[in-house]
Amino acid sequence: MQRILRLCAATVALLVCLPAASRAQSGSSIAGVVKDTTGAVMPGVTVEAASPALIEKVRTAVTDTAGQYKIVNLVPGTYTVTFTLTGFNTVKREGIELTAAFTANVNADLKVGSLEETITVSGQAPTVDVQNVTQQSVITRDILNAIPAGMKSTGQIGVLIPGVTSTSQDVGGTQFSAVGLAIHGSRLNEQAALYDGMPFNNGQGRGGQFVAITTNDATVQEMAIETAGLNAEAEAGGVKINLVPRDGGNTFKGLFIGSFTNHSLQSNNLSSGLQARGLTSSTTVNKAWDVDPAVGGPIVKDKLWFWGSVRAQNTEQTLAGIYFNLTPTGHAYTPDLSRPALNSEKNENASLRLTWQVDAKNKINIQQQNAGQQRPYYGYSLGQLTNAPEAVWASKSMPMYQSQATWNSPRTSKLLLEGGALFNNKDFPTYPQPDNAPTQVPYVDAGTGFTWGNYPNVWGHNASHNFNWRFAASYVTGSHAFKAGVSFMHLWAYTSQDVVNNATVLGLLNGVPRQVTIFATPFAFTELMNQDWGLFAQDQWTLRRVTINAGVRFDALNDMVPAQTLGPGPQVPNRNISFDQVTGIPAWRNTTPRLGVAYDVFGTGKTALKFAVGKYLEAPNPPTFSRTANPAGGLVQSATRTWSDTNGDFIPQASEFANRIGYVFPLRRNLA
């Protein structure tokens, strides 16, 4: 493990020191065709794309023999595109709004004229991508600010796209912040959650449910959401969300995002009909606020920019029909009708991003995000809605941070190199309520379906880290764009399990003792995605009004379980089991093709027909894939025995079990 961590640190340091760097991985481009007044294509025309969003100010390309040009890997912003050729007038197109993951079609017609003559065209920016086949929605900063959603997270925004489903539908921003998305029958774990083009999931899984940090809205310039037709850069075929971060600029600017609500701004929907059916209270928002200031600007003009932000967000709401327990240590649940149960969440994020133009051809971005998350009644967010407050999970994530360095170097107008590395670390432990005594008894009543006293199941650490890096090279002519690259990911996941009350849970039936469940805890599971390699090649060729997108991807995955030992526990005092390392669970090699065709119907860049077909893999989640092959996971973890409390003391005794032989010691041996 220390070797892997040293490798992570060395790789990030190497990327920082290299004389090459990167801007946000937005996948944006400007492309088109240049003709003369007779309609003949014009090769050799110099095309410049200039924008304040570019720290290098201008990117340049030259039209090929078909009169076509393409400028790739641009950042979102407003562009001016200038076309020049000796002996012809200069044409300038202004106000080109470029969003993430979008290719803007910008054409020009040149006529013979003096060098001093410039024709400036100001008009509507292109809104249809007639070259790429990926189905996508780009949520710009203006749209993010305007959407009346509470948290502006990927889950709350992504679900607004028709066909997208989520694990938590929310508008006001009071629900659990980690939300998984799916579309067209895809699995939730096939979602790709990217920050600046790189996966920022933790080591427990993929997608929005397993993000390593609570994101900072003020650091996001745009949100690009792809839902179909993903190219060879994507491993899986589910929803792909890329958060494009915001950079500073040559002018000092600030941003403040804030929201607030409470019960005074909420209506009451506790109708007489609901009261007649037994509901005594409705869900009420006590508070929901978000404060997110940011500031950025130049440290050295045209050389070094910064963008920093600090976010604090807090929500708290009562839950309908659930109350705190007046007798949490008693044999029965006594609701305190004056104290409704609470569901709350507190998130923090401090971020600093630096953009450094090393020289004319090299640029670097470094971003550090330190986050925090507290969820005092986390279990309610996960559906533990038949538990009294003292019987649900609590959680406080620590550590929780992400370090990222990205790389970009346009070596020529045709050759572009890019790459980056990301490392994050997170532990979101679950544990019983802090006020509970370790020996406090958990009760589960099968008659009422309610649980009280203490948390009745396993809890523990969910520690993990994610290290991934990528490198890609693009070769671009006017009609042709070829991109090839390699990616690597290593995930580490550690899960522990424990149970309160000496690993014993008491089961009742309408208040009468019925059964006892005991657990063989403590358990600990460690799983590794030792290496996940991806090699891809993506080719895009434009022939008149048809653009062919062809790609192929090769993936090599290897998971493993390290050697481990399980020691004794309250119900397994003699357990001492060691397991050898298990490798190749699974060890996959897969080649997957992608093909798409885009057709500019009228040649105006305003109407396109698109077709795409491809083969995609299931996104690998280490605990899901390797837990079934983990020897420790194959052990019996709990057992239940019928219990008749003949003396009425609510204390299980050997004489009170229907099968005395199955109680305590033989049961301990079975669990071991």
How does pLDDT run across 258-281, given as a tens digit for each residue? 888 888 888 888 888 888 887 777
10 Å CB burial of residue 148 (0-12, 13-18, 19+) is exposed
pLDDT at 174 over 80: no
Using alpha carbons, select from 375, 378, 462 the residue that is nearest to residue 425: 462
pLDDT at 432 over 80: yes
Question: Tokens 């929201």 correspond to what residue?
Answer: 259
Using alpha carbons, select from 105, 106, 97 the residue that is nearest to residue 138: 97
What are 448's two structure tokens?
A: 């009422």
Residues 403 and 424 sit within 8 Å (Cβ to Cβ): yes
Give residue 671's pLDDT: 40
Residues 106 and 93 sit within 8 Å (Cβ to Cβ): yes
pLDDT (mean) for 429-455: 95
Strand runs labelled E in 360-479? 362-375, 394-397, 400-410, 415-427, 430-431, 443-445, 450-452, 462-476
pLDDT (mean) for 365-369: 97
What are 442's two structure tokens?
A: 């958990």
Burial 341-379 (b: 16+ CB within 10 A, else e): bbbbbbbbbbbbbbbbbeeeebbbbbbebbbbbbbbbbb
pLDDT at 24 over 60: no
- The residue type of 488 is F
Phi and psi for 344 in degrees, rounded to 5? -140, 160
Q: What is the DSSP string of 482-510?
A: EEEEEEEEEEEEEEEEB-HHHHEEEEEET
Q: Does domain 2-123 have CATH number 2.60.40.1120?
A: yes
Give the angle subtended at the CA of 99 by the CAs of 95 and 104, to the nearest 5°. Answer: 65
Question: Can you tell me the distance from the alpha carbon of 631 to that of 429, in angstroms, rounded to the nearest whole number?
Answer: 23
Question: Can you tell me the distance from the alpha carbon of 381 to that of 377, in angstroms, rounded to the nearest whole number?
Answer: 8
Question: Tokens 């991003």 correspond to what residue?
Answer: 353
Question: Can you tell me the distance from the alpha carbon of 487 to that of 471, in angstroms, rounded to the nearest whole number?
Answer: 6
Phi and psi for 389 in degrees, rounded to 5? -55, -35
Give residue 152's pLDDT: 79
pTM tops 0.85, yes or no = yes
94: three-class secondary structure by DSSP: strand
pLDDT band at 10 (very low <50, low <70, confident <90, very high): very low
Give whichever of 138-142, 245-249, 618-622 has the largest mean pLDDT: 245-249
The mean pLDDT value of the chain amounts to 88
What does the domain layout of the chain look like in residue ranges? 2-123
Residues 65 and 110 sit within 8 Å (Cβ to Cβ): no
Q: What does the pLDDT look like over 291-342, one tens digit per residue? A: 999 999 999 999 999 999 999 999 999 998 899 999 999 999 999 999 999 9
